[in-house]
Amino acid sequence: MAETYCGKNCAECTEKELLNCPGCQAGPGRKYGGDCELAACCREKGHESCGTCAFRENCRKLLGREQQPKIRQRRIEAQQKREAEEAARRQFLGKWLWILFWLIVPATVAGLFGNEYVSRASAPLYVFGQVLSAACSLAYALILLKLSAEEEHYRTAGICDLITVAAGLLILILFRGEKAPAWSLAITLPALFVRWAGEYNEYQGHSEILSGTDTVLQEKWLKLWKWYRGCMMSLLAGSLLVLAAPVLGALLVTAASIGIIVVDTVKLVYLYRTAKIFREEPEEKNGREN
């Protein structure tokens, strides 16, 4: 068998050292994993080399054999660029998703201080809870906007969260911990729907970045959104039903509230898993799966 399929002399190849090529038969022209078009063509037609092919005089591939090392070098460089970009993407997503996950801790503390029971016991503590909650929500929104560099859904989610934060601060400034009057619904209801839009886009963003990485978790994010939507619609329906059937409405509100707590808990778990995926090296992840 010839040293090369196309008849080139490996010893005279100026690109051999640059490409770290072990030779045609062991390198680009090998049967499994080689990327040489000439080698593949010879094997397909049953030739040991291009020299025994009747069409060699006018063969486009054979006439361009001198360009093969340069084409191969461009492929290697393109592959290295893709790998570098993917590594940078993983590092970026892993970092900011991890911060997003840990923002839940101060947000939970803010939720404990910012409920109606605390407002009755201590107005200053309630205001502190509301301010801390707004600060966490603002940071959350800004991180989502940061993540929009990789997924456009995060941009919409971040903008919606900013609008929700602005509405919450407006209510806080207007009423300063006192019970809000009925007309405040003109602010809170639109803000609620904006929040739903933000949640939808955030879930979609988490799902999209997992495309081709973890399809199971990707689908779970989409299913979780459906559960969140169902719970929020039930909460709204229960709030309206209270006016006509107080007991039934209160039961529906309670069930929906419990459902939202469950969904938020699952969201926290999924966010942790999503961040962890991008914080891991691909080799580590593949090693565990194997």
Decide: 101 and 136 in contact? Cβ < 8 Å: no
Mean pLDDT along residues 17-40: 73
Amino acid at 275: A
Mean pLDDT along residues 35-47: 82
Candidate ranges 38-47, 66-75, 234-243; pick with highest mean pLDDT: 234-243
- Assign 169 a pLDDT band (cuts: 50, 70, 90): confident
Cα dihedral value 129, 135, 140, 141, nearest 10: 120
The reported pLDDT for the residue numbered 40 is 83
Half-sphere exposure at residue 142, Cβ-oriented, CA atoms within 13 angstroms: 8
Q: Is the pLDDT of residue 47 over 90?
A: no
In whole angstroms, what is the distance from residue 148 CA to residue 159 CA? 11
- Assign 123 a pLDDT band (cuts: 50, 70, 90): low
- Residue ranges covered by each domain of the chain: 10-77, 91-195, 221-280
Q: Is the pLDDT of residue 155 over 80?
A: yes
Phi-psi region of 8 (alpha: psi -120 to 50; beta: other; left: phi over 0): beta
Q: Tens digit of pLDDT for each residue in 75-93?
A: 888 989 999 999 999 999 9
The reported pLDDT for the residue numbered 197 is 94
The reported pLDDT for the residue numbered 290 is 46
Decide: 288 and 249 in contact? Cβ < 8 Å: no
In sequence order, what are the residues at sequence separation of 6 or more whose Cβ sits closer than 8 angstroms to the Cβ of residue 102?
A: none
Decide: 263 and 227 in contact? Cβ < 8 Å: yes
Q: Tens digit of pLDDT for each residue in 248-283?
A: 999 999 999 999 989 989 999 999 999 999 998 665
Instruction: Show the tokens assigned to 196.
Output: 């739903």
Instruction: Show the tokens assigned to 37.
Output: 């078009």
Decide: 42 and 48 in contact? Cβ < 8 Å: yes
- Assign 174 a pLDDT band (cuts: 50, 70, 90): confident
In whole angstroms, what is the distance from residue 162 CA to residue 238 CA? 27
- Assign 31 a pLDDT band (cuts: 50, 70, 90): confident
In whole angstroms, what is the distance from residue 153 CA to residue 201 CA? 5
- Assign 210 a pLDDT band (cuts: 50, 70, 90): very high
